[in-house]
Structure 1
Amino acid sequence: MPQSIGLIGKVMVLSLLISLAIKYLVPFLAIPATDTVALIIVLLPCIIMMGLLGWRTVQANGHNPDH
């Protein structure tokens, strides 16, 4: 149980840091308001997760071509 509480605490702190970075640091970036940038921002998290989960699946199968 203490491990799960620690994990929840770490996730909450990381979430807080990310939200503060978005609120205070991102406005200083010169990101143009174009359709391409919006599409990249929307699709990038899905593409990153797809890559990470695919990599994890390959690692779990031990590079076995039968799976």
Structure 2
Amino acid sequence: MTNQIGLIVKVMLLSAILSFLIKYAEPDILIPATTINVLIIILSPTVIVALLLGARLIWAKHAP
């Protein structure tokens, strides 16, 4: 039970930090609105998750 509460607290804290950064730090970050930047922003979460799941699959096959 403590483990689950800890996970929920971590997720909420990370969410609050991300929300703060989006609200206050984002206007200072100037990213040009180009097609390549849009593709990078849209596709990067999918690619990251695919790489992590692929690595996990490879590690699971090599585990004894």
- Count of residue correspondences: 63
Q: Does 1:6 align with 2:16?
A: no
CA deviation vs aligned residue, 1:25-44 (integer Å, no higher than 9, x gap): 12211200112211111111
Q: What residue in structure 1 maps to residue 57 of structure 2?
A: 57
Name the structure where helix makes up a greater proportion of residues: 2
Q: TM-score, normalised by structure 2?
A: 0.84
Moved over 6 A (4+): none
Structure 1: stretches of 5+ with no match in the other structure = none
Distance, in Å, in 1 between the alignment partners of 2:51 and 2:38 is: 20
Structure 2: stretches of 5+ with no match in the other structure = none
Pairs within 5 Å for 1:27-66: 27-62=27-62
Q: TM-score, normalised by structure 1?
A: 0.81
Pairwise CA RMSD: 1.4
Distance, in Å, in 2 between the alignment partners of 1:26 and 1:52 is: 27
CA shift at 1:54, angstroms? 0.7
Aligned-residue sequence identity (percent) comes to: 48
